[in-house]
Structure 1
């Protein structure tokens, strides 16, 4: 019999899908010369696994699949009709899916009582989802404002996908190498908001989860 995903182990699948998304998109760009089809295919595969990982209730599962189908349809239609620019709508759909996944994961991590190893894995998933959410927001800014970032050209979002993810996580962890920087007031505000959110999350939430887990281990 196959292994059934339960509330106690579902975050492992989500974590694997997020890691695959981050590494898979980079490999697709570097070794397979990128391309919209490869980037979108990698994204869809990972988001599909994420639906399995966090979609424990039927409403989440149905909504997640609905958004995925919308992303596939929009991306396919945009590729077939080069004169039809559906990039902004596609990015908004992906952003909506990521927000829904983060909220569902946060409810399981923050409001489920006893701290387990699965919840600690879930807290890592939320951190990775935060970086991806901000990346989508940055890509939407490029679509809306053009040259919103120094170091990034204005081109289809799939061509900037890995670069913006890199910038997002560098900002989230406050490393800030400087190859990419915001060029307009709104992207600048978003960048420092992401840095603040990343520091707050790492310092407060993850530390509390690990501390609670260690305390439970000592008490048992």
Structure 2
């Protein structure tokens, strides 16, 4: 896989891995809680590996992400062996930090370097998916500490709740606001409206940056 992924196509693989993670969470209707948890852990590990291979060209973040990945694996193994529920919080925090580092690396590669191509446009989609996933993890963390923070979403093992959290996150990020899940606690409300604000500004900032970079490239070619 490492030989196939290059700086010209790395965001294709990364975006596909993120989409697979989102799709796998929808299997909660056909899998038992234990199997769903194992599936999500497997797909999460797959995502981490694809992220690491895809972002190995960014040395600034690569070592940091490897360290997070190793920590996540140690915690995941410990969770399976000891069965301590509180370890879920540590896993969620490590996952959030890993996706945040991935977001920062992609953002740096897309908006801070060179010309715009199809790979970077796909990378902007990966950024959007990462935003939704990071906020989904935040909602799961809130539920870990406050079971009644949301209406329409109860406190469950994070694997069982991941699809609900991701659904609510992307509905909020795109400002659809269906209302079937809504925040109740003050902390949840703040996190939700911050996501809505980020969703609106993401489209404006990233799209404008991509268009501006593309126009600049055209001007250079014409000049």
TM-score (norm 1): 0.89
Distance change in 2, residues 1:33/1:211 (3 Å) = farther
* Between 53-62 and 147-156, the greater mean CA deviation after superposition: 53-62
**Structure 1, unpaired ranges of 5+:** none
Counterparts of 1:121 and 1:195 in 2: how far apart (Å)?
Answer: 22
Pair 1:83–1:92, CA change in 2 (3 A): closer
Distance (Å, rounded) in 2 between the aligned partners of 1:81 and 1:126: 35
State the distance in 2 between where 1:6 and 1:175 align: 36
Structure 1 residues 23 and 84: CA distance shift in structure 2, 3 A: closer
1:1-220 map, 5 Å: 3-27=3-27, 29-34=28-33, 35-58=36-59, 60-83=61-84, 85-210=86-211, 212-213=213-214, 216=217
Q: Distance in 1 between matches of 2:203 and 2:59?
A: 31
8 Å CA contact retained: 1:55, 1:61: yes
SS in 2 for 1:131: helix
- SS of the residue corresponding to residue 55 of structure 1 reads coil
Stretch of structure 1 that moved more, 2-11 or 192-201: 2-11
Distance 1:157 1:25 in 2: 11
C-alpha RMSD of the superposition: 2.1
Q: Which structure 2 segments of 5+ residues have no match?
A: none
Whether the 8 Å CA contact 2:21–2:40 is kept in 1: the answer is no
8 Å contact from structure 2 (residues 140, 165) kept in 1? yes
| Matched length | 218
> In 2, Cα distance between the equivalents of 1:177 and 1:183?
15
